[in-house]
Amino acid sequence: MDFIVGGLAGAGATIITNPMDVVKTRLQLQGELRVLERGAARYRGMLHALYLIARTDGMMALQSGLAPAMLLGFSMNSVRLGLYHISEVNGWTHTAEGTVSIHKAMFWSCVAGAASGVAANPASVVKTRIQAAAHPSIAVGRQHRYKGTLDAFSTIYRTEGVRGYFAGLTATCSRLAVGSAAQLTTFSTSKQALVSHGVCEHSPFALAFAASAISGVVVALVICPFDVATVRLYNQGSEKTQGGLLYNGVIDCLRKIYRTEGLYGLYKGVGPLYLRIAPHTTLSLVIWDMLNNILAKDS
């Protein structure tokens, strides 16, 4: 039940935040391994990207990749939140006095994040490639043309093998381990700190909302470089792709981005990333916390 609750929380939040994920993906692929000249960018920021995608490919393009994104949200969060909740219930994240141990919480959230990365990676690859596909006039990055989610899974298997499903696995596990440590640790410690100061003490919903809002800010700042690398690795394809592989792994990817695009390149799309992460973090953690509270009352 812990895994189902976590999965439902993630899938539910994905429906609302997917448009920001589409914009984030396009901005992170724009100007790949080259310095963009002033005025040369197809997407001149988050709002312009929203407008341009909707105008060129239609409003529904802002929900590109929704099916694999929901599959991703369910598979990732069922493992991540499920494992973390089990560690909380069993006291593995607490000190002998019963308070949250930052070191223990970080360890178990890293374990949960890395495990969820393995479980969700195939859906992440499909989601990213579908979100990146666009009309030639606004296309950025390598373009993979699939007829839908099932066709994407079958095409990747046929052309790249099982290995294709796990492109960028090291990057996504690093991203999720770091992101989960930041998210779940700040969520737990923020709740504890708010209660200790008498804030939202008698409102579980408000407490979860406030703690998750704090968590979202920290997560976006910490994971953005890993997120850019993950998107690039997902979208590059295989050795058979025209032009071959651009990156040989997460470290090589981060190094090349920094060398050619600078620090700005590592923080491309940080705006839509935050606007996706913040509500997604808030929605998924609030839903997760509320469902756990309901189940606790019923048991």
The pLDDT value recorded for residue 89 is: 86
Question: How many structural domains are present in the chain?
Answer: 1
In terms of pTM, does the model score above 0.75? yes
Closest to 17 in 3D by CA, of 277, 296, 295, 292: 277
Q: Report percent pLDDT > 90 for the chain.
A: 45
Q: Which range marks the domain in which residue 223 is found? A: 2-298
291: domain CATH number is 1.50.40.10
Beta strands per DSSP E along 166-281: none
The pLDDT confidence band at residue 264, using thresholds 50, 70 and 90, is: very high
- pLDDT tens for each residue of 105-153: 888 888 888 888 899 999 999 999 999 999 999 999 999 999 999 999 9
The pLDDT value recorded for residue 102 is: 81
Contacts with 108 (C-beta within 8 Å, 6 or more apart), sequence order: 83, 84, 87, 92, 93
Question: Within 10 Å of residue 224's Cβ, how many Cβ atoms?
Answer: 22
The SS3 call for residue 211 is helix
Helices (H) and strands (E) in the chain, counts: 10, 0
